[in-house]
Amino acid sequence: MLAPSAWSAVTGEEIYKEVLEGTALYDDPELDAYIKKLGAEIISVSEMAGEEFTFILLDSPDLNAFATRDNYIYVNRGLLNYVSNEAQLVSVLAHEVGHITRKHVTGQEGKATGAQILSTIAAVLSGSNEVYEAGMAYANSIIRGHGRRNELEADEAGAEYMAKLGYAPSEMISMLSIMKDYESLQKDRAKAKGASKQTYHGIFSSHPRNDSRLRTVVSKANAVKSDETRDNGASRYRQLTDGLIWGENFLAKEKKPDRFSNMRLRVRFDFPKGWKQNANPKPFMASGTAEDKTATLKMRPIARTSQTPEEYLYNYLKVSQLKEGKSIAPARLKGFTGILPGGDKGPDSRIAVIYYKLNAYLFSGEVTEPETFVETDKLFVAAINTFRPISSREIAGQKPKTINYVKATSRTTFDGLTKALKLNTVDSQDLRIINGYYPSGEPQAGDWIKIFKQ
């Protein structure tokens, strides 16, 4: 992961490579081509017509889209679940193009956008909600300054591009309203857990439909003349997104050659890339060795006690005093790690313990040559921090949910759909959000609505 201090020195292509290290492209050639086609049409009516842009569809369940330097624009598959028609999708793409044409993604004016991008990419690559929240907290502190202006400028530019293409600029406010409803719901859910939550374009203190400055910049686009008038493209969008995956895409998750998994105990972690897993590593459950055989990382589960992980190491396992001892929290689990001095007996080694359910998972990283420990220890720490519980859905190999469209009848209600589809409260709220009926309202007979299927 690139450090923030190095952000200004990297290229868009380097950022692209880093993003793809953490998340895959969404495998839907027709939908990908559709996004690229719409993006090209937007560029053709922008101030940067003729310049090369790259549009990327990521296989991420999060509601997000972002732009980076060198004209790269990323759209998460999850965002498409909340879009109801082509015009709304164009509003998102046009908004991101506006960030680039208004030069928000480079230099001082790019601080807010860059902070959001950093937090997004960091979350993608680390899988850590804490990393995301920390990055967003910084981004939002900047948004109170330049960021608010940047977002409105991108909205203004995007609405203008929409109007030039013949789309109704008001669809941008409709899309942002859905995003605001989503943000409000996520904040309520996070608040109930004592956390915080931000989301895409989360800068409005009021609802977008009531935000006078947003309505002013978007309505200016109504004065733009266009040679054609387009409908909202709901039918085209519906056809291309029927069957779109909702939530985590378990079908796309490949088993990594460096990953150790134990389905009985429901735990996994990743050895450093290129390391060989050793067969039958008794008394350890898992053991991996570097290609040059200069380092080994082992793990075994032991019954835990009621002590803290630190107390467990020192008082129960009688481990000698560790250097640089500190608490760790892979996947929000409790743990402790440090360096066990080798002294006259040999090189230093890395020791760690992580609690999960009834077990304490003890890690030991060792090297054959003392001078290699410092660099190799970085690999030990990274591998230990990949320790995760395995969800029931992963174990069952459960297929992901998909979004499908049905036509409402005079008797269709969201309460009825909740019961018929056996949805929980969270799913029921999500169903309202993706259909634009949050927190209340009911579909009319003949309306197309989205439902979850599995």
How many angstroms separate the CA atoms of 395 and 404, rounded?
25
Would you give the end-to-end CA distance of the chain in angstroms?
A: 35
Residue 314 domain boundaries = 259-394
Does any domain span residue 154?
yes
- Mean of per-residue pLDDT scores for the chain: 85
> Is the domain of 419 the same as that of 318?
no
User: What's the pLDDT score for residue 196?
Assistant: 53
> Is the domain of 387 the same as that of 268?
yes
pLDDT at 3 exceeding the cut of 70:
no
**CATH for 294:** 3.40.1000.10
> Is the domain of 197 the same as that of 284?
no
How many angstroms separate the CA atoms of 257 and 279, rounded?
14
Does any domain span residue 414?
yes
Does any domain span residue 253?
no
> Is the domain of 187 the same as that of 276?
no
**CATH for 447:** 3.10.350
Does any domain span residue 301?
yes
User: What's the pLDDT score for residue 443?
Assistant: 96
Of 162-176, 199-213, 295-309, the poorest mean pLDDT is in 199-213
Instruction: List Cα–Cα distances, 337 to 156, 196, 302, 329, in angstroms.
Output: 51, 28, 16, 10
What confidence tier does 147 reach under pLDDT thresholds 50, 70, 90? low
User: What's the pLDDT score for residue 238?
Assistant: 97
User: What's the pLDDT score for residue 186?
Assistant: 84
User: What's the pLDDT score for residue 354?
Assistant: 97
> Is the domain of 206 the same as that of 307?
no
pLDDT at 144 exceeding the cut of 90:
no
What confidence tier does 19 reach under pLDDT thresholds 50, 70, 90? confident
User: What's the pLDDT score for residue 249?
Assistant: 83
Of 88-92, 185-189, 230-234, 297-301, the poorest mean pLDDT is in 185-189
Higher pLDDT, 10 or 198: 10
Once rounded to an integer, what is the mean pLDDT over residues 36-50? 97
User: What's the pLDDT score for residue 108?
Assistant: 43
Dump the DSSP string for 314-341. IIIS-PPPPEEEEEE-GGG--EEEEEE-
Does any domain span residue 440?
yes
> Is the domain of 195 the same as that of 155?
yes
Once rounded to an integer, what is the mean pLDDT over residues 284-293? 93
Per-residue pLDDT of 78-133, as tens digits, reads 999 999 999 999 999 999 999 999 988 875 444 444 445 544 444 444 444 444 45
User: What's the pLDDT score for residue 395?
Assistant: 64
Strand pairing class (54-58; 72-76)? parallel
| Pair of tokens at residue 140 | 């939002």
Per-residue pLDDT of 364-420, as tens digits, reads 999 999 999 999 999 999 999 999 998 776 665 567 889 999 999 999 999 999 999
User: What's the pLDDT score for residue 36?
Assistant: 97
> Is the domain of 162 the same as that of 263?
no
Once rounded to an integer, what is the mean pLDDT over residues 301-317? 95
Per-residue pLDDT of 339-350, as tens digits, reads 999 887 789 999
Contact status, residue 90 vs residue 167, Cβ threshold 8 Å:
yes
How many angstroms separate the CA atoms of 93 and 87, rounded?
10
Contact status, residue 390 vs residue 261, Cβ threshold 8 Å:
yes
Does any domain span residue 254?
no
Of 151-160, 188-197, 231-240, the poorest mean pLDDT is in 188-197
pLDDT at 60 exceeding the cut of 60:
yes
What confidence tier does 336 reach under pLDDT thresholds 50, 70, 90? very high
Q: Residues with Cβ < 8 Å from 351, sequence gap 6 or more?
A: 313, 319, 322, 337, 338, 339, 340, 362, 363, 364, 365
* Domain boundary pick from 226, 248, 270: 248
**Residue 138, Cβ density class (10 Å: 0-12 exposed, 13-18 middle, ≥19 buried):** middle
What confidence tier does 145 reach under pLDDT thresholds 50, 70, 90? very low
User: What's the pLDDT score for residue 180?
Assistant: 86
User: What's the pLDDT score for residue 381?
Assistant: 97
Does any domain span residue 449?
yes
> Is the domain of 189 the same as that of 113?
yes
Per-residue pLDDT of 227-242, as tens digits, reads 889 999 999 999 999 9
> Is the domain of 100 the same as that of 14?
yes
Of 134-138, 328-332, 404-408, the poorest mean pLDDT is in 134-138
Of 44-53, 63-72, 318-327, the poorest mean pLDDT is in 63-72
> Is the domain of 239 the same as that of 347?
no
User: What's the pLDDT score for residue 255?
Assistant: 67
> Is the domain of 310 the same as that of 373?
yes
> Is the domain of 69 the same as that of 197?
yes
Instruction: List Cα–Cα distances, 190 to 93, 176, 193, 196, in angstroms.
Output: 28, 20, 5, 5
* Domain boundary pick from 220, 248, 276: 248
* Domain boundary pick from 248, 271, 293: 248
Q: What share of the chain in percent tops pLDDT 70?
A: 83
Does any domain span residue 418?
yes
**Number of domains within the chain:** 3
User: What's the pLDDT score for residue 198?
Assistant: 53
